[in-house]
Amino acid sequence: MKSQEGMTIIVKTVTRISVWLIFVYGIYIIFHGHLTPGGGFGGGVIIALGFLNVFLAYGKEYIKKWLNIGLLHDLEATSAILFVGIGIIGIAMTGGFLANFLSKGTLFRLFSAGTIPLLNILIGAKVGVALFLVVWSLSLFHIDEGGEQ
């Protein structure tokens, strides 16, 4: 019974279904950031909360198998670099840092507003991964015993 990590079977079953809906909702919020309320920050936190949901329901060992934590670190750093990269491309194309160099498109369409959706996606990935990593590293320690496990 040592392997009985996480919460009960009911919570695990519900999580298995609901977590994908949470991810879809987060991605929707990110992609529609230039049309509706929300955007990169809100959607990123929703994605982080989805990861957190799995983490709380299934426990540490499952997450270690399910996710590649090193890859998440890389993803976080990559999105920060790409943000600056888009800014530098803006200098090359139009002469201003972070200038909007893509076509504006039609108002109220999903693919419009130039670089704004791209930057929203990058911010969403960065915020989501970074916040999950903080909780992940905080949970690696049992500070009751005054030391790591």
Partner 1 sequence: MPIETWLIFILGFMIVGSIMALEIKDLLSSIIAIGIVGLALSVAFLFLQAPDLAIVQFLFEIFAIIILILAFLKKEYHKKDDPSNTNKILTLVTVITLGAILFFSIDVFKALPAFGEPYMNTAKYYLENGATETGSANLVSAIILDYRAYDTLGEVTVLFTAILGALTIIRIKKKSSGTEEDVV
Partner 2 sequence: MILYILCFILLLVGLYGVLTKKDLIKIILSLSIMGYAANLFLILFAYKNDAIFPILSESAVQEAMVDPLPQALVLTSIVIELGITAMLVALAVRLYQKYKTFDITKIRSLSG
| DSSP classification of residue 100 | -
Contact with partner 2 (CB under 8 A) among 127, 128, 129, 136: 127
Crossing angle for the helix pair 116-138 and 9-31, to the nearest 10 degrees: 150
Tell me if 36 contacts partner 2 by CB under 8 A.
yes
- Return the structure tokens found at 3: 């392997």
Closest CA to 43 of 145, 149, 124, 134: 124
Q: At closest approach, how far in Å is the CB of 122 from partner 1? A: 9
Q: At closest approach, how far in Å is the CB of 80 from partner 2? A: 13
Q: How far apart are CA 55 and CA 12, in angstroms?
A: 10
Tell me if 95 contacts partner 1 by CB under 8 A.
no
Q: At closest approach, how far in Å is the CB of 75 from partner 2? A: 18
Closest CA to 139 of 58, 80, 79: 58
Q: How far apart are CA 71 and CA 117, in angstroms?
A: 24
Q: Which residues contact 35 (CB under 8 A, 6 or more apart)?
A: 108, 110
Q: How far apart are CA 141 and CA 149, in angstroms?
A: 6
Tell me if 80 contacts partner 1 by CB under 8 A.
yes
> Which residues from 37-76 bind partner 2, rule CB under 8 A?
37, 39, 41
Tell me if 133 contacts partner 1 by CB under 8 A.
yes
24-53 footprint of partner 1 as x/- string (CB under 8 A): -----x---xxxxxxx-xx--xx-xx--x-
Contact positions vs partner 1 (CB under 8 A): 29, 33-39, 41-42, 45-46, 48-49, 52, 56, 76, 80, 83-84, 87, 97-98, 100, 104-108, 112-116, 119-120, 123, 126-127, 130-131, 133-135, 137-144, 147-148
